[in-house]
Structure 1
Amino acid sequence: MHVRWLTFLTGLVALVCIPSLSFAEKPMTGFLNREFKNSDGTISKYVIFVPHDYSPEKPVPTILFLHGSGETGTDGLKQTTVGLPNAIRKQEKTFPFLTIMPQASPVSPVRDRWFAGQPNGDRAMAILKEVEQEFKVDSKRIYLTGLSMGGFGTWNLAAAYPKRFAAIVPVCGGGDPKSAEKIKEIPCWCFHGDEDKAVNVKLSREMIQALKAAGANPKYTEYPGVGHNSWDAAYGTAELYPWLLSHQSP
């Protein structure tokens, strides 16, 4: 009799535990707050967006997003209030990209904050590597984009790591035209407003011209009558996301 009761109870516990285990094993999705441990032991907060249909069995295309100077800080959240994160929220249930949103700390001149060899630029790349180790990232579909200060960072990091990204989307930023030879093989779609008073539109025009001179065929969208905020229109461009997915690293 005791054996029968023990068998019954064991089976009941198993039935109760199975759903709990399944729930625990289901990957968390949506906007997730994360922490990155720097080499000096300090913590830098950042956010990732994990697609709602994410499965560890299927490689997921990934975007590294670099914010502008107005979102610099240490709260780990301000960078999610402008640009690509807002575009994600408008299509959150179907957005297919795992998106990494680091935050630059106010420790260096504005245009250096996302540069390779500078603390925030190097941290962004280190966070990308950390996320790759945790999630099933599609190594052939890693994309880089940023606005304003992040647009400068996009041009800079692409030149520093030309084999790392399948495509880049610099928005209202600028780069070094001399770097065009390094990035001419990376598909590029650049956006800028022609009335931008914060970052002169000529900086994007010069990069596009340099790329074309190097033999590349970049896409360029210039918004007439638009000031510094060209990012709402840029990240609101429905064709941008299929365009990204159409490109893979060699």
Structure 2
Amino acid sequence: MKGFQLTASMAALILMANAALAQTPPPTAPAGKAQAARDAERALWTPGEARYLRSWMVMGAAQRPADEAGLRSTNLWKPVTAWDDPVDLTASGAEGRWLYALALVRRDAEGPAELSLGAGGPLAAWVNGAPVALPERPSGLYDTVRVPVSLNAGNNVVLLRAERGSGATVLTARILLPAQPLPDLRLQPGVWTDGDQLQVRTDAAPAPGTVTVLVTAPGGREMGRIEAGRGAIAALPTADWPDGPYEVEVRGTSAAGRPLRAFSPWYKGDMAPAAKALLDQAAAATGADAEAGHWRMLADLVKDRAGPDLSRLKDAYASVHSALMEAAEMRLGPQAAIRPLGFTRLAWVDPLDGSTQFCRANLPADYDPARPWPTVLNLHGANGAQPPYIRYWSVDARHGAASERWPVIWIEPHGRGTNGYMGPGERDVLNCLAAARARLNVDPTRTYLTGGSMGGKGTWLIGSRHAGVFAALAPVFGGADLRLDPQFGRDDPAADRPMERWTREIESDFVGLEALNNTPVFVLQGDQDAAADPRQARHAVAMLQRWGYDVRYREYPGRVHEALEGWEDLVVGWFLQHRLAEAPARSGCALPTCARPAPTGWRSMARWLHCR
């Protein structure tokens, strides 16, 4: 096991952990906000402190040490900050069979609380050095085990132990008030094979109500359907089903009356022959067309997850299942995946360099190709590792998009990876939209653009450069004008000549905002975001407000550069209130590229300098 160089922040975290366990105040503990202030800032419908813990220190061990609670004093901890609520402990790079995760929870006063956990395997837990008796292993990833704990005033240490799984080792944890009610947000099913039957646990725990279990084969052919109690185990006979990939959908209704659905992958039989057949088909696909490139990409994905010899097939079950399901629908023809709740990967050859490029599209539950559908393009953030396409986030995910909850087509362009959606990246987003319009019934008057981090930057850039394409924009903590931050040295007081001022302005992600005079904008931002300074979002919003444009702004207190709760539903609901105007109320052009005032009239302005 390799040692790890402690940074100042990590050293402070360990120091605070040691001090908390000793029940003495840490020497340099940051001053936390009073509970009254936090209560005033939290969402009104959220009782108490309900956020999941996202900032962790992780270490690995080949053997479980005798004093596991004393691991806080080692220097082998590695930082992991989860983007969303689940944290993947393996993302830290920690080695060993046993993975330990440490987090700090601050409280203004001592008192009782509950530790709420979820994971894909068994856990052990300690709070402030004392072991916590867990009654059972978590049966799902969210809040499936809740145990009472006592917290001290000040910093409290939560230590968890998980056994490394065959793939990612993922868990969630948060501190709740005793008996705190939680919103009914999701189903957490599980599936397994028992002889000639498919067994489906319809939710992580029993709950009132019934659900429907629906099993579909490639192309959406229904193989079986059964009603069962929520949290019960349902059995479907499968003796007459052919071997191959299937999707198991569990659908029901929440306590608040909202529809819930969740999907699980299931493969009947041995997937190794099908994986080998996919590799062989890809090897024979030597053409330069998009379909051949698509086959090669799927084969690369399988080899990356399962190994070139498929020796890691068991560890890569979900990823390989996704590739085999996609391959089976490709063999059925181009329309097989175009169905309600379908997933399709759009592919095209970019004449810029002859490469095959992709974007992913998820279809709504009621998708009907006979009528146009609102469409949302969601731009991803930067991936500092600059991986190839097959290693980007969610490229093997077939479900989970907002289209499962809203009547929209949800599309995720690749944008040539991490290039800020400039040049080829911008072209890729527009090519993705063109490919979607060719395959799907995209409503040209209800096409929307959003994205977070680098995707927020791309939303500002592409949305303002192509304002006549998108009915509304929603940048999420992204975009910057470097002149606002002195550290970049862009705000030169001596830059008083037109060319100098133009050079500084053209570097801004907000340079084209004046083109949004007929495009509503919804900006979302965390007020503690160090990666995307909230001053940048406030600056852009202030400009749009000063010009009288249609802009809405929401700032999340206490949130940093991370997924913001419920942002997709908030944005999609707002998007659907807007439609591209056929005859915009305003026209004009004041972009840096415009040397003289544009003639009035939207259409003539578009022809004049393409300043849309």
Distance 1:105 1:136, change over 3 A: closer
Q: Deviations over 1:199-232 (max 9, x none)?
A: 1111111110010111113110111111011x33
**8 Å contact from structure 1 (residues 46, 102) kept in 2:** yes
Instruction: Report the counterpart of residue 185 of structure 1 in structure 2.
Output: 518
SS state at 1:70 partner:
coil
Instruction: Report the counterpart of residue 99 of structure 1 in structure 2.
Output: 410
Q: Structure 2 CA distance, aligned partners of 1:185 and 1:92?
A: 26
SS state at 1:130 partner:
helix
**8 Å contact from structure 2 (residues 477, 532) kept in 1:** yes
One-letter code aligned to 1:32: T
Instruction: Report the counterpart of residue 38 of structure 1 in structure 2.
Output: 350
- Report whether the alignment pairs 1:166 with 2:471: yes
**8 Å contact from structure 1 (residues 45, 76) kept in 2:** no
Q: Structure 2 CA distance, aligned partners of 1:73 and 1:163?
A: 33
Return the match for 2:535 from 202, 211, 215. 202
One-letter code aligned to 1:102: P
Instruction: Report the counterpart of residue 550 of structure 2 in structure 1.
Output: 217
Distance 1:34 1:90, change over 3 A: closer
Instruction: Report the counterpart of residue 6 of structure 1 in structure 2.
Output: none
Instruction: Report the counterpart of residue 425 of structure 2 in structure 1.
Output: 120
Q: Structure 1 CA distance, aligned partners of 2:520 and 2:391?
A: 30
SS state at 1:132 partner:
helix
One-letter code aligned to 1:64: L
Distance 1:91 1:249, change over 3 A: closer
* C-alpha deviation, 1:180, in angstroms: 2.6
Instruction: Return the TM-score normalized by structure 2.
Output: 0.33
Instruction: Report the counterpart of residue 78 of structure 1 in structure 2.
Output: 392
* C-alpha deviation, 1:240, in angstroms: 2.8
Distance 1:114 1:60, change over 3 A: same
One-letter code aligned to 1:235: W
Percent of pairs identical after alignment? Answer: 28
* C-alpha deviation, 1:91, in angstroms: 5.7
One-letter code aligned to 2:544: L
Instruction: Report the counterpart of residue 571 of structure 2 in structure 1.
Output: 240
SS state at 1:242 partner:
helix
- Report whether the alignment pairs 1:65 with 2:378: yes
Q: Structure 2 CA distance, aligned partners of 1:74 and 1:95?
A: 31
Return the match for 1:141 from 446, 464, 473. 446
Instruction: Return the TM-score normalized by structure 1.
Output: 0.77
Distance 1:68 1:80, change over 3 A: same
Distance 1:73 1:185, change over 3 A: farther
Q: Deviations over 1:52-106 (max 9, x none)?
A: 211111110001110000285433573438xxx99x7276544311121111335
Instruction: Report the counterpart of residue 243 of structure 2 in structure 1.
Output: none
**8 Å contact from structure 1 (residues 171, 234) kept in 2:** no
**8 Å contact from structure 1 (residues 79, 103) kept in 2:** no
Q: Structure 1 CA distance, aligned partners of 2:543 and 2:516?
A: 10
Number of residues of Structure 1 aligned to a counterpart in Structure 2: 218
Q: Structure 2 CA distance, aligned partners of 1:168 and 1:128?
A: 15
Distance 1:79 1:168, change over 3 A: farther
**8 Å contact from structure 2 (residues 347, 435) kept in 1:** no
**Cα RMSD over matched residues?**
2.7
Which ranges in structure 1 are unaligned for 5 or more consecutive residues?
Answer: 1-21
The structure whose RCO (Cα within 8 Å, separation 6+) is larger is 1
SS state at 2:383 partner:
helix
**8 Å contact from structure 1 (residues 36, 43) kept in 2:** yes
Larger radius of gyration between Structure 1 and Structure 2: 2
**8 Å contact from structure 1 (residues 194, 222) kept in 2:** yes
One-letter code aligned to 1:190: V
Distance 1:76 1:209, change over 3 A: farther
Bigger strand fraction:
2
Return the match for 2:457 from 147, 152, 156. 152
Distance 1:66 1:76, change over 3 A: farther
**8 Å contact from structure 2 (residues 415, 425) kept in 1:** yes
Q: Structure 2 CA distance, aligned partners of 1:92 and 1:99?
A: 6
SS state at 1:243 partner:
helix
One-letter code aligned to 2:564: D
SS state at 2:548 partner:
coil
